Each structure stands twice: as C-alpha cells, then as structure tokens.
C-alpha cells in the first residue's frame, strides 16, 4: 500500500499490516515514540520526537484506540542519527538509542521526565542532567539467556526485540566489559564442546538456562554463575577450571539451580564450584561483599555520584535523625551517616539487611542501624510510638511507595524528603500524594544510570511548608 493509505479523510481506520506516514510527538514511559493517527495513539520503538516516519502497523487495539508500529523508513529525523557501534543494534531488545548522540539522549530523558511530572503539576527546579562517566562499558552485571539455535546448539546472548522465544548469539555487548564478552565466548565454546543442552521452555527439559557475570569495577574481581535446571551438571568443575585458568580475574564460580518453570536467573540453590561465594567492590570509600543475589546499582561509578547528590539534597545537620527507606544493603545509609547523628535503614529483605549490618561493621560506619520488614508496617509502628525524624530518604521499587508507607511517612513529618526513583510516573503520583502532608518538590536531577537506553534515575528534594 502507498504511504497515504491512512492519511486521507476517507482512509480506513488503522489495522495491522497497513503502512502510514507518522510524526512522532512525544515519548511513553518506556521511551518509545508516540504519534497519532486517525484518533489512535501509535507507539514506535526507536522513534523520537520530531521524527517523520514511514511505519508498518503491527498490533491494533480498537477499544483502547492504540496501536504499535515498526519503522519501515526514516523520512525526516527529529534528531540526527549515527551508526550504532554494536552489530546487534536493532535486533537486540536492550539498547534503544545507540544511534542517537549522547547529548541528545540526555535531552530526551530530561524531556520524558519533566513532561511526566508537569502532567500532574509537579514542576521542581531541574538541574542539568548528570552525565554518566562513560556511555559504554559501564554495567557491572549482565544476565544472558541461553537458547537453542536452528542447528540444535546452545546460543548464549540476549532476547531479540519483542521475542521472548528467541535468543540470539552474542558476539559482543558494548555495555559490559570486554572481559565479560570473552567469558560469554568461552562459555559458549565449552558447553557446545561438551554437548550440553539448553533448557526448553515448552517441554521443560534440558540443562542450561542463564549465564550471569558480575564485574567489580574498582576491585577487578569477577563472578561467573551458570544457572541450570535440576538435571545433573557433571561438567561444573571442568567449566570452573577453564574459566579460572583463562581469566585470572575470575574470583568466584557459582552453579545456581532453578528447578521451577519460571524463567528467571535466580536459582533456588547455589553451589560455590570454585573460589569465593562473593566478590568485593566499592562505592566511594565503602567496601561491599557482593553475592550472586545482592542488589548493587548496575553502574558503579554513576551510583557513587548519585549517592553524593542524595547526600547534598538531604542537607543534614550533625544531630539529625534520618530514615533511609528501602535501604537495600546500606549504600545510601553509609553516605548519610557521614553527616547525621543517627540513620535508621528499613528494608523488607532479611538477606539485604544482614548484608547491610555486615557491611556497616566491616566499614566501621557509626550511627547506622537497620530493621527488616515492610516499610508500611515499620513506619506505622514508628509513628504510633511517637518517634520523630528530621529527614527521610526513600528509594522504593519501581511501582513506588506503598500507600500506607507514604501515609505513615507523611504523619512522621520530617522537614525534608529525598525521593530516588527509576520510574518518573510512580514518583510523580507519590509526590502529588505527599502534598497532602505539606510537601512540595523544590529541586530535581536526572541521573543517567543506563546510557543507550531510555531508563534513568531521578533524585527529587521535597521540603515541607
């Protein structure tokens, strides 16, 4: 069909398979371009505001007046495009903006965040976005899926965009270290030479499920974990020997067993095949033991700078009592303890709290204590006990704060809240709720934690009237 099929006044309503001339006007929460066609909102992966595109419609939802489309041709770019350095760009479901100059990526992320907050009337003073020290080779952890090629051999890599049933063989990922890429290559050669099978998602048979590589950016230590089904992995010791002989940086080799049907890299049982059960890395001057399941910000160097920004926004006094909600293994708590009289970290994960307590002792951090339990329950207890805090930092999961946790925090009434979020939509909704308790967003900064993708962190300072 010709380009004008869906542009004339008598043209048919959108349906799958038709082509259209579409101008991208904005971005959705996932960074996909948004345009409008015959009353339908059309999302396009890889489109950015100002692009004029020839698109092919894929999924059309008539009741919701929504459609998805793919780019057939770039008629006029809204921002200049460049050649992506990764040969898998376009096929891979990870990076979305490798063909966009880094300064334009920052502008797009800022626009996405500011538009989201302004939509609900939240308009803090935005600082210039915090650029990442390096737009490539920054990730300290990658999880690779293992599939099966047409020839029946294991493939190790990432999922093709929109395809959860297809894993392409990775040659090199430009977000992780070159050493990590070499580990992927060695693992692929090893499992193929041993005739090992990949796990079949439909039949639930086969051995190999995931490969995880953790990379200590400061320490240089590397952890490698192979997640398998419950079938015997008799070659585990030989695999560990091959890794540690070839790569002296590998300090830990883990065999993780996932006996569930759920396709997740976290196993039910972990065996240390060789080396240690954890690796060491640092955030600023603080040392952390990082196990396979530990949460650690994926961009070590940018996390250090973000924690300093949280510290700055908190504006602490020497005798301040501080809450650190959703504190994980204690990273932000340690930075806050440098300036405060007392810091209480709250986290629902028992294992994370155990790590926080251990990390606090090993780093000789004074003034920090930690409590394990849901934030909504513990904050309600603190409020009921008449406790008071001067400043609170909250870094909740992607959906945002639990409504009861937010209400209890509002009742506790600290003079300032610093909100850290990877989801500007959830943050904006929580900021609106916090207005009921007298809080207003005054300052904000976009932190580019994940260059080449639409994802970012946002740090917002809220002051009480």
Catalytic residue numbers, as ranges: 422
Contact 260, 268 (CB under 8 A): yes
Helix (H) or strand (E) holding 463: strand 457-464
Which of 384, 399, 392 has the alpha carbon at shortest distance from 430?
399
Owner of token pair 């780019």? 71
Which of 328, 302, 152, 290 has the alpha carbon at shortest distance from 212?
290
Q: Would you give the distance in Å from CA 37 to the centre of its chain?
A: 32
CA distance 349 to 373: 7
Helix (H) or strand (E) holding 34: strand 33-37
CA distance 404 to 111: 31
Distances in Å between the alpha carbon of 451 and those of 101, 259, 342? 11, 34, 35
Three-class secondary structure of residue 131 per DSSP: coil
Which of 284, 320, 321 has the alpha carbon at shortest distance from 304?
284
Question: Strand 141-148 vs strand 167-169: parallel, antiparallel, or unpaired?
Answer: unpaired
Which of 445, 336, 310 has the alpha carbon at shortest distance from 389?
336
Q: Please list the residues that pair with 42 across neighbouring strands.
A: 35, 67
């Amino acid at each position: 069909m010709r380009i004008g099929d869906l542009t004339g006044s008598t043209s048919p309503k959108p349906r799958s398979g038709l082509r259209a001339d579409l101008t991208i006007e904005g971005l959705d929460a996932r960074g996909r371009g948004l345009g409008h066609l015959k009353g339908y909102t059309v999302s396009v992966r890889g489109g950015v505001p100002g692009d004029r595109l020839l698109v092919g419609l894929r999924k059309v939802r008539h009741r919701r007046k929504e459609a998805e489309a793919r780019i057939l041709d770039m008629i006029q770019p809204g921002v200049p495009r460049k050649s992506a350095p990764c040969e898998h760009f376009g096929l891979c479901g990870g990076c979305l903006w490798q063909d966009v100059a880094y300064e334009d990526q920052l502008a797009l992320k800022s626009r996405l965040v500011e538009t989201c907050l302004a939509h609900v009337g939240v308009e803090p003073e935005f600082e210039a976005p915090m650029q990442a020290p390096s737009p490539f080779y920054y990730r300290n952890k990658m999880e690779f899926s293992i599939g099966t090629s047409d020839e029946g051999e294991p493939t190790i890599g990432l999922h093709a965009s929109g395809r959860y049933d297809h894993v392409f063989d990775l040659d090199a990922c430009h977000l992780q270290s070159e050493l990590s890429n070499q580990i992927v290559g060695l693992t692929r050669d090893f499992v193929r030479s041993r005739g090992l099978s990949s796990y079949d998602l439909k039949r639930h048979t086969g051995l190999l499920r995931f490969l995880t590589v953790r990379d200590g950016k400061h320490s240089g230590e590397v952890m490698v974990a192979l997640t398998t089904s419950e079938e015997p992995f008799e070659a585990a010791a030989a695999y560990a020997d091959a890794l540690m002989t070839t790569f002296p940086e590998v300090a830990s080799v883990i065999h993780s067993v996932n006996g569930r049907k759920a396709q997740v890299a976290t196993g039910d049982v972990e065996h240390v095949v060789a080396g240690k059960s954890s690796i060491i890395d640092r955030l600023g001057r603080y040392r952390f033991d990082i196990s396979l399941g530990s949460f650690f910000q994926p961009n070590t160097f940018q996390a250090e700078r973000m924690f300093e920004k949280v510290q700055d926004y908190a504006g602490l006094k020497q005798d301040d009592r501080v809450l650190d909600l959703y504190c994980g293994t204690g990273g932000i708590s340690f930075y806050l303890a440098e300036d405060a009289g007392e810091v209480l970290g709250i986290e629902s994960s028992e294992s994370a709290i155990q790590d926080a307590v251990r990390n606090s002792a090993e780093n000789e951090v004074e003034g920090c204590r930690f409590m394990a339990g849901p934030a909504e329950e513990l904050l309600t207890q603190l409020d009921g006990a008449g406790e008071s805090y001067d400043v609170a930092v909250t870094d909740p999961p992607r959906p945002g704060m639990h409504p009861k946790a937010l209400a209890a925090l509002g009742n506790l009434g600290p003079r300032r809240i610093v909100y850290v979020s990877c989801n500007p939509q959830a943050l904006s909704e929580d900021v609106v709720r916090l207005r009921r308790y007298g809080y207003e967003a005054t300052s904000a900064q976009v932190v580019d934690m994940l260059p080449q993708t639409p994802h970012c962190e946002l740090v917002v300072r809220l002051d009480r009237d």
